[in-house]
């Protein structure tokens, strides 16, 4: 894998993030999310001026008709109106992706949540999830932009078998492996995080890299920046191991640091630049 910063980027949801997260760390890639529509022309210009590679986390444009904040609502369930609202939001994002020449778009996969307690059979839920994947494939083809599906939470489809089946069937789709959410999910639902990463590595298009020790950290601090002090024996996701598993089998994977720009003081208050350098060094060693 090319270890240059063009393969490593930062998630941004404000114009200030572009300077503080991307440019100040010497990176040349950004993933952009939920900007006021009035900021988009300036964002487009800055991306061009700085020769950045960009991806989009749906939605790029803040939409007044979609619940806010978008990533806290998900609308990924059996309610057909909610699911179609999510798909409509994704299609608007795909249109923007063409305008920005985005490399790919990350979407929260619109599949039913829950464990069957709502009375829906697995077969019915599978049909909904498969139909959603088919519609995403059609969007990918229409707008000539790959889609990376990010799935987490209490879903019967958060498993390697289903993800591999979808990616194999629909060539416009790849998987977005979110380290922080998957660390939480593995603790809550009792699966091996590292076996999961190893199994799906060839099908991963991008990684969202942030960390936690479990659901309590997420509820308190949300997305904690990665840092070399994070000891897996204390419950932190093992960042070196996950990067090694995925990049050794998938040199084209993109690495997106998806965290805030301040390390929680209660956890050490570290400089996030130390974490960025750490990730860049780890990626370089795998290549």
**What pLDDT is recorded for position 157?**
84
Dihedral angle sign, alpha carbons of residues 37, 258, 180, 157: positive
DSSP 278: H
Whole-structure pTM value: 0.94
CA dist., res. 175 & res. 109, Å (int): 10
Q: Is the pLDDT reported for residue 2 higher than 50?
A: no
In which element (H, E) is residue 56 found?
Answer: strand 53-57
By residue range, what is the domain housing residue 232?
5-286
Model pLDDT for residues 261-279, shown as the tens digit of each residue:
999 999 999 999 999 999 9
CATH of residue 195's domain is 3.20.20.150
Model pLDDT for residues 54-63, shown as the tens digit of each residue:
999 999 999 9
Q: Is the pLDDT reported for residue 203 higher than 70?
A: yes
Q: What is the mean pLDDT of residues 4-13?
A: 87
Q: Is the pLDDT reported for residue 26 higher than 60?
A: yes
Residue 98 CB contacts under 8 Å (≥ 6 apart), including other chains: 143, 144, 145
**What pLDDT is recorded for position 118?**
59
Please tell me whether residue 140 adopts helix, strand or coil conformation.
Answer: helix
CB 148 within 8 A of CB 205: yes
CA distances from 254 to 201, 231, 239, 279 (A): 12, 24, 15, 12
Q: What is the mean pLDDT of residues 68-75?
A: 64
Number of domains in the chain: 1
Model pLDDT for residues 147-200, shown as the tens digit of each residue:
999 986 667 888 999 999 999 999 999 999 999 999 999 999 899 999 999 999
């Amino acid at each position: 894998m090319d270890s240059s910063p063009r393969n490593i980027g930062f998630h941004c949801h404000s114009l200030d993030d572009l300077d503080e997260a991307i440019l100040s760390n010497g990176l040349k890639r950004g993933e952009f999310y939920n900007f006021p529509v009035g900021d988009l022309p300036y964002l487009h210009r800055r991306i061009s001026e700085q020769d950045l590679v960009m991806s989009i986390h749906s939605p790029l444009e803040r939409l007044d008709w979609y619940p806010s904040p978008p990533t806290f609502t998900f609308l990924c369930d059996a309610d057909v109106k909610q699911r179609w609202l999510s798909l409509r939001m994704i299609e608007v994002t795909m249109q923007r992706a063409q305008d920005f020449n985005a490399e790919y778009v990350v979407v929260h996969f619109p599949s039913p949540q829950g464990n069957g307690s709502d009375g829906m059979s697995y077969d019915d839920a599978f049909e909904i999830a498969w139909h959603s994947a088919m519609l995403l494939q059609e969007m990918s083809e229409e707008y000539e932009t790959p889609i990376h599906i990010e799935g987490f939470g209490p879903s019967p489809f958060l498993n390697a078998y289903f993800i591999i089946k979808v990616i194999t069937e629909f060539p416009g789709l790849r998987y977005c492996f979110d380290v922080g959410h998957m660390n939480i999910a593995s603790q809550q639902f009792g699966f091996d995080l590292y076996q999961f990463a190893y199994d799906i590595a060839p099908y991963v298009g991008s990684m969202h890299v942030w960390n936690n020790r479990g659901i309590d950290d997420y509820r308190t601090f949300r997305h904690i920046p990665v840092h070399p002090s994070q000891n897996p024996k204390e419950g932190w996701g093992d960042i070196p191991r996950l990067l090694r598993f995925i990049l050794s089998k998938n040199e084209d994977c993109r690495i997106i640091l998806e965290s805030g720009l301040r390390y929680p003081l209660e956890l050490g208050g570290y400089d996030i630049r130390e974490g960025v350098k750490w990730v860049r060094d780890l990626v370089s060693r795998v290549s």
